[in-house]
Amino acid sequence: MHLARTGPWKLRAIAAGIAAATLWPAATNAAEDLAGAVDAVIERWIASERIAGVVALAARDGETVYRRAAGWADREAATPVREDTIFRLASMSKLIVAVTAMAMIDREKLALQDTVAQWLPWFRPALPDGRRPAITVRHLLTHTSGLAYGFLEPGGNPYEQLQVPQGLEVWQGHLESALRRLVEAPLLHEPGTAWRYSLSTDVLGAVVEKAAGMPLPEVVARYVTGPLGMSDTAFHVVDPVRLAVPYRDGPGRAERMADGGDTIPLGDGIAFAPARALDPNAYPSGGASMNGTAGDYLILLETLRRGGGPILSETSARLLSTHAIGELRAWTEGEGWGHGLGAAVLLDPEAAETPQNPGTWQWGGVLGGHWFVDPVAKLSVVVLTNTSTAGVIGDFPAEIREALYGAGRN
């Protein structure tokens, strides 16, 4: 889930005709140019109240070159966002779980060619013709498994009929019970033959649990968040006082989401319960239910950009961010994007209408966060907002990106 969509989610062409950019030419005022350009975007969106609150961090070659906390963690209570404010990461959880799986692969506890059925013998969904093809760990990591998300499918689809949970709502059951509903839905295609944004990472989380012999939150803490000191990143919010209130796009200003449950207006609608992040009994959705700070997430991105140590081998870090689906494309990102084992990968900046360099990898979360890493520019960026969907889809992320690359260009 990220910045661009085909059809109604297509970004405006903010960077048409711009070749691959070299970020910020040498100049004594480069830092001031950068801060001024990004500040202007953030201040405009906060003033308009279309974004409630935001923390934005950017690092170039390991050095923090931009940091800003602005707006409201709770607008009605006049609680400001701080740099350590905790946000619901939604689909930004996917990278963390993918990294966890790759860490286990490095330690030979799991393999890319392992089938899901090796670890979950009961998870063998069928194609419409009744065949039950093998789904591998690699299929799950690349979203080529044949699974889907119900909210992106036509109304009345099997996911809807089976009430398959999507990771953001209240669910009276554990991870296996959620996936036992999913396994009853037919596969949309033969694994490996098409790219489809899906619940694959939720299934991956269950595989990781079985391979590790412990609950997913413990596996993630052992292999990723613990070693990197990401102390604020977890499936269950570690400090509720710092958790940002969620907002959704309104006709003018962003509107506070209902405490008892709300619907995110994307696709066919996504059920969302704000209280889920505070419920220690909520099942861990590997694709949608983690929470954390921008600072923690930047640590992860910089670790991967620099080669993965100490949590991953260089080979695994490279696989996460290298196009791995051949002629297929990650259509949620718009034109020009492929996909690796952990995120979308930019193949054609001109087609994608972006100033980012080829090889940039990125993703985001429907509750308002997005990130990207441009390895050519040695640039890592995390922008967390508490506003769905303006923080991840449309003009706001596009303007942030244009400000970052435009600073000092003229």
Domain boundaries, the chain: 7-87+231-406, 99-222
Q: Return the CATH number of 7-87+231-406, one of 3.40.50.720, 1.50.10.10, 3.40.710.10, 2.40.110.10.
A: 3.40.710.10
Alpha carbons 162 and 139: distance in angstroms, whole number: 23
Give the pLDDT of residue 407.
67
Those residues with Cβ within 8 angstroms of residue 287's Cβ, 6 or more apart along the chain or in another chain: 91, 93, 94, 97, 167, 199, 200, 201, 202, 205
Entry pTM: 0.93
Alpha carbons 93 and 95: distance in angstroms, whole number: 6
Structure tokens of 213? 């012999």
Cβ atoms within 10 A of the Cβ of 214, count?
13
Q: Kindly state the DSSP code that residue 221 receives in the 8-state scheme.
A: I
Q: Do domains 7-87+231-406 and 99-222 have the same CATH topology?
A: yes
Taking domain 99-222, whether its CATH number is 3.40.710.10 is answered by: yes
Beta-strand relationship, 247-248 and 387-388: parallel
Give the pLDDT of residue 409.
54
Long-range contacts at 125-132 (CB < 8 A, ≥ 24 apart): 125/182, 125/183, 125/184, 125/185, 125/186, 125/187, 126/186, 126/187, 127/186, 127/187, 127/189, 127/190, 128/186, 128/187
Alpha carbons 131 and 32: distance in angstroms, whole number: 60
pLDDT in tens, 156-210: 999 999 999 999 998 888 999 999 999 999 999 999 999 999 999 999 999 999 9
> Is position 198 annotated as part of the catalytic site?
no
Which residues does the chain have with pLDDT short of 70? Answer: 1-29, 407-410
Give the DSSP H or E segment for 53. strand 53-60
Give the pLDDT of residue 390.
97
Give the pLDDT of residue 268.
84
Choice among 48, 91, 285, 313 that is catalytic: 91
